[in-house]
Structure 1
Amino acid sequence: MKIDPDSSTDLSAQIATAIREAIVSGAMPVDERLPSESELAEQFAVSRSTVREALKRLAAQSLIRTQRGATGGAFVNRLRFEDAYGQQITTSTLLLSMNAVSFQTACEARYALERACAPLSVQRRTADHLATMRAEAHRQAQPGLTDEAFCASDVAFHRALVDAAGNPVLSYQLAGAVEAMQPLMNMITFSARSRETIVDLHTRIADAVEAGNAQDADTLLSDLATYTEDLAKSVFAARLAKQPKQ
C-alpha cells in the first residue's frame, strides 16, 4: 500500500483509499486485524493523527470496526447490504437534489426499477412481506393520518414490495429509488393526490402479489406511475398559473 506525499489529495484520504483497495481486492480479508496506528504511521511516513483520520473515514464506510482491550484494534468488517442502505439512500438523494433531476426522469427510473422487481416479488414474497404491505395500505386509509405519516407509510409499502423479491442486490440498488426518490416525489404531489386512489392501487397491488399474478402487479405499478406523473403535471401547471405575468 502506497501513497503520494506530493499529491494534492489529502494524505488521510489517500491512506483510506489504499486500505479500502486492499480490502476490496481481498489482500486484507474479513476479520483481519489492521496494523496499529503506530505501525501504519511508520508504513506511510505520516503522523498518527493522519492515520487516525483515515481510519475514521473507513469506519464511516463500515469497512472496518474497532474493538477495545488487549486483543482490540481495527479489524476488516464484513459489510452487509443492509449496512450500506443508508449510504446508498444519502448518495441518491444528493445526486437528485444537486443535479436537479426532473420529476419525470425520477419517476420513470423509480417505477421502471420497481416493475422489473415485481415478478420476483410475486414469486418469492413471504407472509411477513405481504402482511407489511397490507398493514401499510390499511394505515394509509386511516382518517387523521398526517401527510408526513402517510408519506412514510407509502415508502414502507414499496420497501416491502421490493424486499419481497428476496434479492439483496436488488434491494440495495432500489434503496435509493424507493427511499430517496419516493420522498422527493411525495413532496411535490402530496397536496394534490387522492389518498383513496393510492390506497386502492396499493391494496390491489398487494392482492396481485398474494395471488401470484405478476402481470396484474406490473399493470397496477404502471397505473400508479401514470397517476403520479399526471399529479406532478397538474401541480406544476398550477404553480405556473400562479406566477405573475411578465
Structure 2
Amino acid sequence: MKIDPKNRADLSAQIAKSIRDAILNGEMDVDARLPSETELSEQFDVSRPTVREALKRLAAQNLIRTRRGASGGAFVRRLSYEEAYANHITTSTLLLSMNDVDFETACEARFALERACAPLSATRRTADHLATMRAEIHRQSQPGLSDESFCDSDVAFHRALVDGAQNPVLSYQLAGAVEAMQPLMNMITFTQRNRDMIVGLHTRIADALEARDAARADAALSELTGYTLQLGEAAMAARAARKTP
C-alpha cells in the first residue's frame, strides 16, 4: 500500500484509497486486522491524526469496523447484501431525481432488468414468494386503498418477483430498479392508471410463475411495460396541457 506524498490531494484520502484498493483487490481478507495507527503512520510517513481521518473515511464506506480493548483495532468488514440494499436504493433514487432521466428511459431499463430476472424466478420461486405476490394482489384489489398504499404494494409485488430468482446479486442490482424507479413511475402515472388492469397483469404474472412458465411471465411483463409507457405518455400529455395557457 503506497501513496504519493508529492500529490497535492488530501493525504488521508490517498491513504483511504490505498487501503480500500487493497481490500477490493483481495490483498486483505474479511476480518483481517489492519496495522495499528502507529504502524500505518510510519508506513505512509504521515501523522497519526491523518491516519485516523483515513480510517474514518473507510468506516463511513462500511469497509472497516473498529473494536476497542487489548484485542481491538480496525478490521476489514464483511458487508452483507442486505446492508448494501439501502445505500444502493438511496444512490439510485438520488441519481434519478438529480439528473434528467426521462420516463421512457427509466421504464425501459427497469422492465428490461426485471424481464431478465423472470425466467429464474419461474424456476426457483418458493411458496413464500408466491404468497407475497398473491397477498399484494389482494391488497391492490381493495376498494378505498390510497394511491400511496397502492404504490407501496406495487413495489412489494415486484420485489417478490425479483427475490423469487433467489440470486442475491440480481436482487441487489434490481433493488435500485424496483425500489427507486418504481416509485418514480407510480408518482407520474397514478392519475392515469386503471387499477383493475394492473391487478389483472399482476395476476397473470403470479399465475405464470406458479406454473413455472417463463414465457407467459415474460409476455405479461411485456404487456405491463407497454401499458406503463402508455400511462407515462398520457400523464406527460396531461401535464403539458395544464401548462398551456
Q: Give TM-score, length-normalised by structure 1.
A: 0.92
Residue 40 in 1 paired to residue 40 in 2?
Answer: yes
State how far apart, in whole Å, the 1-side matches of 2:135 and 2:191 are: 23
State how far apart, in whole Å, the 1-side matches of 2:29 and 2:35 are: 13
Pair 1:32–1:100, CA change in 2 (3 A): same
Specify the alignment match of 2:158 in structure 1.
158
Cα offsets for 1:77-126 (capped at 9, x unmatched): 12222222222222222322233111001100100110011010000001
Matched position secondary structure for 1:100: coil
State how far apart, in whole Å, the 1-side matches of 2:8 and 2:145 are: 52
Pair 1:23–1:108, CA change in 2 (3 A): same
Structure 1 range deviating more: 83-92 or 233-242: 83-92
Deviation at 1:168, TM superposition (A): 1.5
Specify the alignment match of 1:109 in structure 2.
109
Specify the alignment match of 1:208 in structure 2.
208
Specify the alignment match of 1:14 in structure 2.
14
Cα offsets for 1:188-236 (capped at 9, x unmatched): 1122212222122112211111111111100111111111111110111
Specify the alignment match of 2:130 in structure 1.
130
Aligned residues: 245
Residue 220 in 1 paired to residue 240 in 2?
Answer: no
State how far apart, in whole Å, the 2-side matches of 1:72 and 1:35 are: 11
Q: Which runs of 5+ in 2 are unaligned?
A: none
What aligned pairs does 1:58-207 form with structure 2 within 5 A after superposition?
58-207=58-207
State how far apart, in whole Å, the 2-side matches of 1:183 and 1:42 are: 50
Matched position secondary structure for 2:66: strand
Matched position secondary structure for 2:142: coil
Deviation at 1:45, TM superposition (A): 2.9
Matched position secondary structure for 2:75: strand
Pair 1:66–1:144, CA change in 2 (3 A): farther
Aligned-pair identity in percent equals 73
Matched position secondary structure for 1:51: helix
State how far apart, in whole Å, the 1-side matches of 2:62 and 2:216 are: 40
Given that 1:62 and 1:83 are in contact with CA atoms closer than 8 Å, whether structure 2 keeps it comes out as no
Q: Give TM-score, length-normalised by structure 2.
A: 0.93
Deviation at 1:146, TM superposition (A): 2.5
Specify the alignment match of 1:237 in structure 2.
237
Pair 1:120–1:76, CA change in 2 (3 A): same
Specify the alignment match of 2:31 in structure 1.
31
Cα offsets for 1:126-159 (capped at 9, x unmatched): 1111111111121222233322222122111111
Matched position secondary structure for 1:26: coil
Structure 1 range deviating more: 101-110 or 68-77: 68-77
Deviation at 1:70, TM superposition (A): 2.2
Matched position secondary structure for 1:105: helix
Pair 1:144–1:69, CA change in 2 (3 A): farther
Given that 1:37 and 1:48 are in contact with CA atoms closer than 8 Å, whether structure 2 keeps it comes out as yes
Residue identity matched to 2:94: L
Residue identity matched to 2:83: D
Given that 1:141 and 1:196 are in contact with CA atoms closer than 8 Å, whether structure 2 keeps it comes out as yes
Segments ≥4 residues shifted beyond 4 Å: none
Structure 1 range deviating more: 35-44 or 157-166: 35-44
Structure 1 range deviating more: 89-98 or 165-174: 89-98
Residue identity matched to 2:76: V
